[in-house]
């Protein structure tokens, strides 16, 4: 009898805590909290939007959302999230549907872990 292999995706998350520290130093605690909260909401929203655009075959809209997601992720130091969103862009620009689907699935995994990492880091510093 054949055995099925189960793949477990254990992606590392790269978060630049220095970027968050710089943001807090630059803006102050209250303003930085507001920026981070808005950024987190924006990232979650963009990620959901990107999945919908991919399902609907709306590649130009997916590309626009990915570019915006990259800017916001970089602003708060979510390096893995931004990098993988760039990979989605490359696949979409190349017209590689399979690559786009794979990198978007990876982006969802990284996004979930990255958003949790930022919340965990914020909880430690508050």
Each residue's pLDDT tens digit, 32-53: 989 988 998 999 999 999 999 9
The whole-model pTM stands at 0.80
Half-sphere exposure of 119 (CA within 13 A, CB side): 10
Higher pLDDT, 54 or 125: 54
Asked if 77 and 89 touch (Cβ cutoff 8 Å), the reply is: no
What pLDDT band is residue 107 in, cutting at 50, 70 and 90? very high
**What's the CATH architecture for 19-125?**
Up-down Bundle (1.20)
Name the one residue in this structure whose structure tokens are 């510093």.
Answer: 125
- Burial tier of 99 (Cβ tally within 10 Å: 0-12, 13-18, 19+): middle
15 bridge partner residues: 78
CA distance 20 to 123: 13
Q: Tell me which of 19-23, 42-46, 56-60 is least confident.
A: 19-23
């Amino acid at each position: 009898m054949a055995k099925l292999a189960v793949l477990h995706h254990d992606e590392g998350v790269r978060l630049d805590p220095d970027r968050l520290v710089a943001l807090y130093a630059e803006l102050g605690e209250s303003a930085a909290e507001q920026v981070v909260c808005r950024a987190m909401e924006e990232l979650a929203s963009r990620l959901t939007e990107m999945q919908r655009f991919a399902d609907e075959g709306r590649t130009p809209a997916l590309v626009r959302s990915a570019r915006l997601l990259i800017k916001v992720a970089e602003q708060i130091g979510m390096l893995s999230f931004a990098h993988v969103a760039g990979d989605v862009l490359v696949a979409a620009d190349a017209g590689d549907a399979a690559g786009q689907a794979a990198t978007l699935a990876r982006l969802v995994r990284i996004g979930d872990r990255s958003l949790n990492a930022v919340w965990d880091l914020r909880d430690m510093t508050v």
